[in-house]
Amino acid sequence: MGLKDLFIRKKKGNILFAKSLQKLNENERAIHAKAMLGNPIFNEAIQEMEQELLQMWGDSLAEDVNGREDIHRTFKLIQDLKLKFEVYANQIRIDEMMNQQQKDIRETVE
């Protein structure tokens, strides 16, 4: 499945919509997640956003509790996004390891 296959065109207009990831199987999801994590532009953008948020937080006043909390929440969301891609990318390995463990246990019991 190529990048072209991930997008559909809205009938009226030129708006592109990503197909739901729920329609991808685990292997396809892992492939796309690994591609994102290996994409230097994606990684650069994430790194720049994190650095900008840290700078904003450092420059903010200690009394600006709400502003600092907003910055922290945004920073945490970016980290959660990266973690989600890592989970998707590693899901196949996790499944394979769990299947092997279950196989080993069955063989030990028999």
Task: Report the distance separating Cα 32 and Cα 1, nearest Å.
Answer: 9
Angle between helical axes of 65-109 and 40-59 (0-180°, round to 10): 140
Task: Report the distance separating Cα 62 and Cα 68, nearest Å.
Answer: 8
**Res. 1 pLDDT band, cuts 50 70 90:** very low
In DSSP terms, which residues pair with 8 in a beta bridge?
17
Specify the pLDDT at position 19: 52
Judge contact between 38 and 86, C-beta under 8 A: no
Q: In this predicted model, what pLDDT tens digit does every residue of 56-90 receive, in sequence order?
A: 999 999 999 999 999 999 999 999 999 999 999 88
Write down the pTM of the prediction.
0.62
- Among residues 45, 30, 32, 44, which one has the least CA distance to residue 92? 30
Arithmetic mean of pLDDT over the chain: 81
